[in-house]
């Protein structure tokens, strides 16, 4: 029988509830306990900008999908979107999860960067002729502006559409319980999958924010980021983190387990 590498370990998962199952399953299968405390809530929304993007579907040269949430909202409110795209329209996604979700709608992505970030996608698209090209990007407006600004510098016309909102959860009790658990040293690691999952943790801490930062500075609890962009958010609080070279939940948990194995030696 394979050794359960997380036996006795409690790992906090801060990503949205509907996105947490993969991480929770890996943690449980490795003998650990997944402490689900979503610091981020995703809500699909029918905005004017999203409906404008749907109307412009026949004119688009590119569609860039940055997350499964943007894809789900787009096809929920614009179910015929793909049928209105012109035959020359090209599709790009930022990561494999979005790629798989897209394939579920019978659409294949032409571009998927090896580096699952806006910067990685820009690097792939930089050699292309984007001058005057119309690129549609459904996403949350709380996302970084690296991608649209980079595309505009390459000469593209970017149509941003708010497909969903990323907010602090309406029910913050699970996060408050997690913060208490951190103070009581009941948690071995906290995982983060986006900058907002980091910032919202400290926002929910309210008056205890400085105390939480001081406690986490002691490095009694491991902070794990899915990648360097999320890691940068952790560093804004003066904290250290570990992150994988491949920006997936699976890779994030693998490097966490490896680090814990080294600590046991």
pLDDT tens per residue, range 229-250: 999 999 999 999 999 999 999 9
For residue 264, what pLDDT is reported?
Answer: 58
According to the model, what pLDDT value does residue 1 have?
47
Q: How many helices (H) and strands (E) does the chain have?
A: 12, 10
Look at domain 43-166 and name its CATH class. alpha beta
Q: Confirm whether pTM is higher than 0.85.
A: yes
Alpha helices in the chain (DSSP H): 21-29, 48-55, 68-77, 81-84, 96-103, 118-125, 146-153, 173-183, 195-205, 209-217, 228-235, 249-264
Q: In this structure, which long-range contacts are made by residues 148-153, counting pairs with CB atoms below 8 Å and at least 24 apart in sequence?
A: 150/118, 150/119, 150/122, 151/122, 151/125
Residue ranges of the chain whose pLDDT lies below 50: 1, 265
Q: Looking at residue 115, what is its pLDDT?
A: 87
Domain ranges of the chain: 1-7+16-40+168-193+246-265, 43-166
Q: Are strands 157-162 and 134-139 parallel, antiparallel or unpaired?
A: parallel
CA 23 to chain centre: 13
What does the DSSP 8-state code read for residue 142? T
- pLDDT at position 265: 47
């Amino acid at each position: 029988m394979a050794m359960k590498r997380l036996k006795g370990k409690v790992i906090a998962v801060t990503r949205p509830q509907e996105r947490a199952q993969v991480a929770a399953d890996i943690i449980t299968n490795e003998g650990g306990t997944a402490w689900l405390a979503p610091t981020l809530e995703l809500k699909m929304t029918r905005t004017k900008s999203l409906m404008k993007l749907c109307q412009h579907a026949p004119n688009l040269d590119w569609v860039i999908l940055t997350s499964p949430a943007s894809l789900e909202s787009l096809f929920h409110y614009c179910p015929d979107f793909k049928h209105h795209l012109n035959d020359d329209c090209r599709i790009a996604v930022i990561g494999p999860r979005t790629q798989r979700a897209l394939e579920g709608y019978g659409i294949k992505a032409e571009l998927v960067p090896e580096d699952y970030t806006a910067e990685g996608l820009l690097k792939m698209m930089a050699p292309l002729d984007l001058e005057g090209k119309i690129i549609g990007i459904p996403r949350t407006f709380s996302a970084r502006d690296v991608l649209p600004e980079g595309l505009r510098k390459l000469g593209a016309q970017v149509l941003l559409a708010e497909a969903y909102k990323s907010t602090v959860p309406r029910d913050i009790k699970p996060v408050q319980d997690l913060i208490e658990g951190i103070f009581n040293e009941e948690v071995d690691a906290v995982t983060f999958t986006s900058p907002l999952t980091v910032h919202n943790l400290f926002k929910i801490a309210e008056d205890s924010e400085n105390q939480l930062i001081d406690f986490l500075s002691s490095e009694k609890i491991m902070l794990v980021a899915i990648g360097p962009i999320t890691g940068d958010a952790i560093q804004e609080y003066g904290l250290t983190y570990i992150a994988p070279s491949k920006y997936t939940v699976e890779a994030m948990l693998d490097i966490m387990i490896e680090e814990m194995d080294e600590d046991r030696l």
